[in-house]
Structure 1
Amino acid sequence: MEASFKMRVMRVFFVLLFLVTVKAVNPSLNDDVLGLIVFKADIQDPKGKLTSWNEDDESACSGSWVGVKCNARSNRVVEVNLNGFSLSGRIGRGLQRLQFLRRLYLANNNLTGSITPNIATIDNLRVLDLSNNNLSGVVPDDFFRQCGSMRVVSLAGNLFSGNIPSSLGSCSAVANVDLSFNQFDGNVPKEIWSLSGLRSLDLSDNLLEGEIPEGVEALKNLRSVNLARNSFSGKIPYGFGSCLLLRSIDFGDNSFSGSIPSDLKDLVLCGYFSLSGNAFSGDVPDWIGEMKGLQTLDLSRNRFSGLVPDSLGKLWLMKTLNLSGNGFTGNLPESMVNCTNLVALDVSQNSLSGDLPSWIFGSDLEKVSVADNKMSGRVKSPLYSLKKVVVQSLQVLDLSHNAFSGEITSAVSHLSSLQVLNLSYNSLGGLIPASIGDLKTCSSLDLSYNKLNGSIPREIGGALSLKELILENNFLTGKIPMSIENCFPLTTLILSKNKLNGSIPAALAKLTNLKTVDISFNNLNGSLPKQLANLPNLLTFNLSHNNLQGELPAGGFFNTISPSSVAGNPFLCGSVVNKKCPVRLPKPIVLNPNFSGDSDPGSPTPMSGHKRNILSISALIAIGAAAFIVIGVIGITVLNLRVRSAASRSPAALDFSAGDDYSRSPTTDANSGKLVMFSGEPDFSSGAHALLNKDCELGRGGFGAVYQTVLGDGRSVAIKKLTVSSLVKSQEDFEREVKKLGKVRHQNLVELEGYYWTSSLQLLIYEFVSRGSLYKHLHEGSGENFLSWNERFNVILGSAKALAHLHHSNIIHYNIKSTNILIDSYGEPKVGDYGLARLLPMLDRYVLSSKIQSALGYMAPEFACKTVKITEKCDVYGFGVLVLEIVTGKRPVEYMEDDVVVLCDMVRGALDEGRVEECIDERLLGKFPVEEVIPVIKLGLVCTSQVPSNRPEMGEVVTILELIRCPSEGQEELLG
Structure 2
Amino acid sequence: MKLLLVLFTVFALAPILGRSLNPSLNDDVLGLIVFRADIQDPKGKLASWNEDDDTPCGWVGVKCNPRSNAVIELNLDGFSLSGHIGRGLLQLQSLRKLSLSNNNLTGSLSAKIAHIDNLRVLDVSQNSLSGPVPEEFFRQCGSLRVISLANNKFSGKIPESLSSCASLATIDLSLNQFSGPVPAGVWSLNGIRSLDLYGNLLKGEIPKAIEGLNNLRAINLGKNRFSGLLPDGIGSCLLLRFIDLSENSFTGNLPQTMQKLGLCDSLSLQKNLFAGELPEWIGEMKSLETLDLSSNLFSGQVPSSLGNLQALKVLNFSSNRFTGGLPKSLVYCTNLLALDFSKNSMEGDLPAWIFKAGLDAVLISEKKLSGNSLSSSPTGTALQKLEVLDLSGNGFSGEITSAIGDLSSLHVLNLSCNSLVGPVPVTIGELKALVILDMSENGLNGSIPLEIGCAFSLKELRLEKNFLTGKIPTSIENCSSLTTLIVSENRLAGPIPAAVGKLTNLQNVDLSFNNLSGGLPKQLANLPNILSFNISHNNLQGELPSGGFFNTISPSSVSGNPSLCGSAVNKSCPAVLPKPIVLNPNSTSDSTTGALPSKFGHKRIILSISALIAIGAAAFIVIGVIAITVLNLRVRTSTSRPAAAITFSGGDDFSNSPTTDANSGKLVMFSGDPDFSTGAHALLNKDCELGRGGFGAVYRTVLRDGRPVAIKKLTVSSLVKSQQEFEREVKKLGKVRHDNLVEIEGYYWTPSLQLIIYEYVAGGSLYKHLHDGSGGNFLSWNDRFNIILGTAKSLAHLHQMNIIHYNIKSSNVLISSSGEPKVGDFGLARLLPMLDRYVLSSKIQSALGYMAPEFACKTVKITEKCDVYGFGVLVLEVVTGKRPVEYMEDDVVVLCDMVRGALEEGRVEECIDIRLQGSFPAEEAIPVMKLGLICTSQVPSNRPDMGEVVNILELIRCPSEGQEESG
Which of the five TM-score ranges fits, normalised by the shorter chain? 0.5 to 0.7
Contact 1:161–1:183 under 8 Å retained in 2: yes
Question: Could you report, residue by residue, the CA deviation over 1:350-407 in whole angstroms, capped at 9, with x for unpaired residues?
Answer: 0010001100111121110110000011033443x12x34531211111111001110
Are 2:469 and 1:477 equivalent residues in the alignment? yes
Deviation at 1:19, TM superposition (A): 7.0
Question: Take 1:127 and 1:374, find their aligned partners in 2: how far apart are those partners?
Answer: 54
Q: Please give the alpha-carbon distance, in whole angstroms, between the structure 1 residues aligned to 2:369 and 2:185.
A: 50
1:170 lines up with 2:164 in the alignment: yes
Q: Which residue, out of 409, 417, 420, partners 1:428?
A: 420
Q: Structure 2: 5+ residue runs without aligned partners?
A: 583-596, 609-967
Q: 2:573 aligns with which of 581, 588, 609?
A: 581
Between the aligned partners of 2:178 and 2:70, the Cα distance in structure 1 is 36
Say if 1:29 and 1:59, in contact at 8 Å, map to a contact too.
no
Query: Which residue identity lines up with residue 45 of structure 2 in the other structure?
Result: K
1:60 paired to 2:56? yes
The answer for the alignment partner of 2:314 in structure 1 is 320
Name the counterpart of 1:544: 536
SS in 1 for 2:203: strand
Residue in structure 2 matched with residue 192 of structure 1 by the alignment: 186
How far the C-alpha of 1:141 sits from its partner, in A, is 1.6
After superposition, the Cα gap between the structure-2 partners of 1:242 and 1:382, relative to the gap in structure 1 and judged at 3 Å, is: farther
Quote the Cα distance in structure 2 between the aligned partners of 1:545 and 1:241.
64
Contact 1:344–1:367 (Cα < 8 Å) also in 2: yes
Q: Does 1:230 align with 2:224?
A: yes
Q: Are the structure 2 counterparts of residues 226 and 515 from structure 1 closer, same or farther at C-alpha, using a change threshold of 3 Å? A: same
Match of 1:45 in 2: 41
Quick check: 2:390–2:413 contact (8 Å CA) kept in 1?
yes
AA aligned to 1:34 is L
Q: 2:29 aligns with which of 13, 26, 33?
A: 33
Amino acid in the other structure paired with 2:297: R
1:209 maps to 2:203: yes
Which position in structure 2 is the counterpart of 1:122?
Answer: 116
Q: Distance in 2 between matches of 1:208 and 1:454?
A: 57
User: Gaps spanning 5+ residues in structure 1: where?
Assistant: 1-7, 592-605, 619-976
Deviations 1:44-99 (A, max 9, x none): 001111011111011112xx200001111221001000000000000000001111
Whether the 8 Å contact between 1:200 and 1:224 is mirrored in structure 2 is yes
d(CA) in 1 for partners of 2:581, 2:480: 45
1:81-92 aligned within 5 A: 81-92=75-86
Note if contact 2:357-2:382 (Cα within 8 Å) is conserved in structure 1: no
SS of corresponding position for 2:232: coil
Take 1:390 and 1:286, find their aligned partners in 2: how far apart are those partners? 29
Q: How does 1:652-667 map to 2 (within 5 A)?
A: none
Please list, as runs of the form range in 1=range in 2, the aligned pairs for 1:294-693 lying within 5 A after superposition: 294-383=288-377, 385-386=378-379, 388-389=380-381, 391-584=383-576
Aligned to 2:273: 279
Q: Which amino acid aligns with 1:59?
A: T
Rounded to whole Å, the distance in 2 between the matches of 1:435 and 1:126 is: 61
Report the secondary structure of 1:454's partner residue.
coil
- 2:318 & 2:365 partners in 1: Cα distance? 9
Q: For the residues of structure 2 that align with 1:13 and 1:472, how far apart are their CA atoms?
A: 76
Matched, 1:269 2:263: yes
Q: Is the contact made by 2:409 and 2:434 (CA closer than 8 Å) also made in structure 1?
A: yes
Provide the identity percentage.
63
The two structures have a TM-score, normalised by structure 2, of 0.59
Conserved 8 A contact 2:115-2:142: no
For residues 333 and 21 of structure 1, do their structure 2 counterparts lie closer, same or farther at Cα, with a shift above 3 Å needed? closer
Contact 1:69 1:77 in 2 (8 A): yes
| Structure 2 CA distance for partners of 1:14 and 1:520, relative to 1, 3 Å | farther
More off after superposition, 502-511 vs 457-466: 457-466
2:375–2:399 contact (8 Å) kept in structure 1:
no
Counterpart contact for 1:356–1:382, Cα < 8 Å: no
Distance in 1 between residues matched to 2:430 and 2:604, nearest whole Å: 57
Q: Give the partner amino acid of 1:474.
A: N
Check whether the contact 2:110–2:137 (CA below 8 A) recurs between aligned residues: no
Describe the superposition over 1:292-312 as per-residue Cα deviations: whole angstroms up to 9, x where unpaired. 111111100000000001110
Using the alignment, how far apart are the partners of 1:467 and 1:523 within structure 2?
25
Matched, 1:258 2:252: yes
Greater Rg over alpha carbons, structure: 1
Give the equivalent residue in structure 2 for 1:908: none
User: Which deviations, in whole Å up to 9, do the C-alpha atoms of 1:539-572 show, x marking residues without a partner?
Assistant: 1111111111122111111122122211111221
- Where do residues 122-141 of structure 1 align in structure 2 (5 Å cutoff)? 122-141=116-135
Q: Secondary structure at the match of 1:332?
A: coil
Provide the C-alpha distance between the structure 2 equivalents of 1:588 and 1:433, rounded to a whole number of angstroms. 44
Distance 1:129-1:397 versus aligned 2 partners, 3 A rule: same
SS at match of 1:406: strand
Find the aligned partners of 1:468 and 1:576 in 2 and give their Cα distance.
27
Find the aligned partners of 2:600 and 2:323 in 1 and give their Cα distance: 95
Q: Distance in 1 between matches of 2:580 and 2:245?
A: 81
Q: Distance in 1 between matches of 2:147 and 2:484?
A: 48
| CA displacement at 1:615 relative to structure 2 | 11
Structure 1 residues 196 and 311: alpha-carbon distance in aligned structure 2, compared to 1, 3 A threshold:
same
Could you state the TM-score of these two structures normalised by the residue count of structure 1? 0.58
Deviation at 1:21, TM superposition (A): 10
Cα distance, 1:464 vs structure 2: 1.5
Residues 860-939 of structure 1: pairs in structure 2 closer than 5 A: none
Instruction: Name the CA shift for 1:391/1:590 in 2 (closer, same or farther; >3 Å).
Output: closer
Quick one: distance in 1 between partners of 2:534 and 2:147?
A: 56
1:823-869 CA distance string (max 9 Å, x none)? xxxxxxxxxxxxxxxxxxxxxxxxxxxxxxxxxxxxxxxxxxxxxxx
Q: Secondary structure at the match of 1:455?
A: coil
Cα separation, 1, equivalents of 2:269 and 2:4: 50
> How many equivalent pairs are there?
590
When residues 12 and 324 of structure 1 are mapped into structure 2, their CA distance, relative to the original with a 3 A threshold, is: farther
Residues of 1 paired with 2:322 and 2:457: CA distance?
A: 36
SS of 1:345's partner is strand
Look up the equivalent residue of 2:471 and give its one-letter code: K
Cα pair distance change 1:547/1:171, threshold 3 Å: same
Map Cα deviations across residues 7-35 of structure 1 (whole Å, 9 max, x no partner): x9x99866513878999996312110000
Q: Write out per-residue CA displacement over residues 173-214 of structure 1, whole angstroms, 9 at most, x where no aligned residue.
A: 000000000011111111111101000000000011111222
- Deviations 1:865-890, CA, capped at 9 Å, x for gaps: xxxxxxxxxxxxxxxxxxxxxxxxxx
Q: Structure 1 CA distance, aligned partners of 2:67 and 2:212?
A: 39
Offset from partner CA, 1:774-805 (integer Å, 9 cap, x none): xxxxxxxxxxxxxxxxxxxxxxxxxxxxxxxx
For residues 327 and 155 of structure 2, the distance between their equivalents in structure 1, rounded to whole angstroms, comes to 47
Q: 1:73 to 1:392 in 2, by over 3 A?
A: same
What is the SS of the residue equivalent to 2:143? coil
